[in-house]
Amino acid sequence: MNTMDTPLRDGFPLLAASPDLHYLDSAATSQIHRSALDAVARHETTCRANVSRGTYRLAEAADRAYEQARQTVARFLNAGAAGEVIFTSGATASLNLVAHAFGNTLKAGDRVLISVAEHHSNFVPWQMLRDRTGIELALIPVTDAGQLDLARLPELITGNCRLVAVTQCSNVTGAWTDVATLVEAARKVGAKVLLDGAQAVQHGPQDVRALGIDFYAFSGHKCFGPGGVGVLWGREELLAKLSPFHTGGGMIGEVTPQATTWAPPPQRFEAGTPPIAQAVGLAAALEWMMTLDWQQIHARESRLCELLVDGLLRIPALRLLGPESSAARAPIVSFDIPGLHPHDICQVLDARNLALRGGHHCAQPLMAALGIDVCTRASIALYNDETDILALLDGLSFALRELA
């Protein structure tokens, strides 16, 4: 079992080569772990071939590597079976897959419930479905602290509600969703639950069965793996009832001039050549994550988050977005300083080797609900330490003087 005594930063090649870099943008993209890089390189140089139906040894080795990656993801999620794991190009593709495949089972008047806090990838597809089919699209509002206002659930989860699709953790406020309360309310009317786990997975393995949900989406590049790969997990019995989103090679049963039948899940939803090497790299990253002491990592991330929040609250005029308590939020901390644009702040900080993100963070409905257009965001991961937080607080003091 690895412990925090091991210098985790050394396992990330870019960070190991850049000792002066304070990388605080992991909510956008985490750094890739060496094990994932090595796995991709090893796959591409020893068994690069397309998967499915190849009858030579190289292709069979690629098949084994790809399906072993699926099994690793299933273990990371505590899924019921590896066949419940679908590889996609990222969380956005996974969410769109559900919006189209599950959306095809809905009719005018059925309700989908999302929240004001959603990333655009879990907002826009449902708007398009509403405009295309006439479903009802309802929104869970947020509190002043940026948390989902679940007190409104009784009026929002109505008898015609078929799906609740929400973020597990806000990419802006860091606020955790009370998934248990939401699932309980959804089950009372027979609604299914989709969880966008893009911001949760870098903070440890997930248990989709314990969460009690029906669909789960995440991206590899946010949990120390390669870009270009994501996962959609779905309950086996639900996936079997859905029609495919993309069509083409690899996802068919039989094609005749008259009709086409589909392969069973997960192949039904993996048309064309999948992200083979990326899936292998993602599996290596998840295998590494499953060796870590997450109780210790969570405690460390929480301490760093508290240090940052305490420092930010001492800055006059600064508005902290999201809960002040580190127990109620992931280590994602956004703030607004009236009169100063986040892009200007981030550029000044970049000159001091601080990497943060400024903008609307693909969450414009949440920005509007919070009464702002844009904000600055710092996000903490397991390779950050106190020096990163102190450098940020010192850099902000400098930026305030420079930009005043």
Average pLDDT along the chain: 96
Distance between CA atoms of residues 270 and 10, nearest Å:
35
Question: Could you tell me which of 332, 333, 305, 337 has the C-alpha nearest to residue 319?
Answer: 337
Judged against a pLDDT cut of 80, whether residue 2 lies above it is answered with no
List, in sequence order, every beta strand (DSSP E) within 40-197.
85-88, 111-115, 136-140, 161-167, 192-196
Per-residue pLDDT tens over the stretch 59-96: 999 999 999 999 999 999 999 999 999 999 999 999 99
CB atoms within 10 A of CB 115: 27
Question: What mean pLDDT comes out for the span 242-257?
Answer: 95
Query: What is the predicted pLDDT for the residue at 3?
Result: 41
* CA angle (331 as vertex; 172, 193 as ends), nearest 5: 60
Cβ contact 221:88 at 8 Å: no
Q: What does the pLDDT read at residue 31?
A: 98
Can you give the pLDDT at residue 156? Answer: 98
Model confidence over 121-130: pLDDT tens digits?
Answer: 999 999 999 9
Mean pLDDT for the stretch of residues 154-171: 97
pLDDT of 1 higher than 80: no
Give the mean pLDDT of 2-28: 85
Helix, coil or strand: residue 315: coil
Contact 392, 356 (CB under 8 A): yes
CA 161 to chain centre: 24
Residues 6+ apart with CB under 8 A from 401: none
251-297: per-residue pLDDT in tens?
999 999 999 999 999 999 999 999 999 999 999 999 999 999 999 99
- Residues 187-212: what's their mean pLDDT? 98
Query: 191: which 2 tokens?
Result: 């609604």
| pLDDT band for position 404 (cuts 50, 70, 90) | confident
pLDDT score of 53 = 84
Distance, in Å, from the CA atom of 354 to the CA atom of 395, rounded to the nearest integer, reads 8
What pLDDT score was predicted for residue 291?
97
Q: What is the mean pLDDT of residues 356-364?
A: 98
Could you report the per-residue pLDDT of 366-389, keeping only the tens digit for each?
A: 999 999 999 999 999 999 999 999
The yes-or-no answer on residue 223 being catalytic is no
pLDDT at position 26 is 98
Q: SS3 string of 256-270?
A: CCCCEEECCCCHHHC
Domains, the chain, in order of start with CATH, read: 8-24+293-403 (3.90.1150.10), 37-289 (3.40.640.10)
Residues in the chain: 404
User: Which residue is catalytic, options 305, 346, 362, 375?
Assistant: 362
Distance (Å, rounded) from C-alpha 199 to C-alpha 176?
10
Predicted pLDDT of residue 7 = 64
Give the contacts of 173 (CB within 8 A, at least 6 positions apart): 117, 145, 146, 147, 321, 322, 323, 329, 332, 334, 366
Assess whether pLDDT exceeds 70 at residue 21.
Answer: yes
Nearest CA-CA partner of 301 in 4, 63, 38: 4
Mean pLDDT of 169-183: 98
Q: What local confidence, expressed as pLDDT, does residue 326 receive? A: 86
Distance CA 335, CA 36 (A): 33
Residue 338: pLDDT above 70?
Answer: yes
Please list, in sequence order, all residues whose beta carbon lies within 8 angstroms of the beta carbon of residue 394, skipping any fewer than 6 positions away: none
Q: How many CB atoms lie within 10 A of CB 154?
A: 10
